[in-house]
A and B are shown apart, each in its own frame.
Chain A
Amino acid sequence: MAGIIGYGAYVPRLRIKVEEIARVWNEDGEAIKRGLNIKEKSVPAFDEDAATIAVEAARKAIHHSGINPRELGAVYVGSESHPYAVKPTATVVAQAIDAGHNLTAADLEFACKAGTAGIQMLMGMTDSNMIKYGMAIGSDTSQGRPGDALEYTASAGGAAFIIGKEKKEMIAEILKTVSYTSDTPDFWRREGANFPSHGGRFTGEPGYFKHVANATKLLLEQTGFKPSDFDYVVFHQPNGKFPLNAAKLLGFTEKQVEEGLLTPIIGNTYSGASMLGLAAVLDKAKPGQKIMVTSFGSGAGSDSFAIQVTNNIESKRKRVAPLRELIAKDKMYIDYALYLKNRSSIVRT
Chain B
Amino acid sequence: MEKASAGMWRKIDTRYNLIGSECEKCKTLYFPPRIICRICGRDTKMRSRKLSGNGKVYSFTTIRVPSDTFKESAPYTVGVIELEEGPKVEGHVVENGKKVAIGSKVKTVFRKMYVDGDEGLIHYHFKFETI
- A and B: interacting chains: yes
Which of A45, A49, A84 is in CB contact (< 8 Å) with B94? A45
Knowing A96-B17, A330-B96 are in contact, say whether A48-B111 is a contact too (CB < 8 A): yes
Q: Tell me the bound Cα distance from A96 to B124 in angstroms.
A: 10
For the complex formed, measure the closest distance between the CB of A85 and the CB atoms of chain B, giving whole angstroms: 10
Contact with B along A57-81 (1 / 0, CB 8 A): 0010000000000000000000000
Interface size class of B (residues with CB under 8 A): 20 to 34
Q: Is the CB of B96 within 8 A of A96?
A: no
Q: Is the CB of A96 within 8 A of B111?
A: no
Knowing A46-B72, A348-B71 are in contact, say whether A56-B110 is a contact too (CB < 8 A): yes
Residues on B with C-beta less than 8 A from A348 are 71-72, 74
Residues on B with C-beta less than 8 A from A83 are 122
Closest 9 CB pairs of A and B: A47-B111, A55-B110, A47-B112, A96-B16, A332-B97, A348-B71, A52-B110, A52-B111, A83-B122
Contact with B along A258-273 (1 / 0, CB 8 A): 0000000000000000
Contact with B along A37-52 (1 / 0, CB 8 A): 0000000011111011
Knowing A13-B96, A52-B124, A56-B110 are in contact, say whether A47-B73 is a contact too (CB < 8 A): yes
Is A328 on the interface with B (CB-CB < 8 A)? no
Interface size class of A (residues with CB under 8 A): 20 to 34
For the complex formed, measure the closest distance between the CB of A336 and the CB atoms of chain B, giving whole angstroms: 18
Is A98 on the interface with B (CB-CB < 8 A)? yes
Interface of A toward B, CB cutoff 8 Å? 13, 45-49, 51-52, 55-56, 59, 83-84, 92, 95-96, 98, 330, 332, 344, 347-348
Q: Tell me the bound Cα distance from A45 to B50 in angstroms.
A: 27
Residues on B with C-beta less than 8 A from A51 are 122, 124
Is B109 on the interface with A (CB-CB < 8 A)? yes
For the complex formed, measure the closest distance between the CB of A56 and the CB atoms of chain B, giving whole angstroms: 6
Knowing A332-B97, A344-B72 are in contact, say whether A92-B124 is a contact too (CB < 8 A): yes
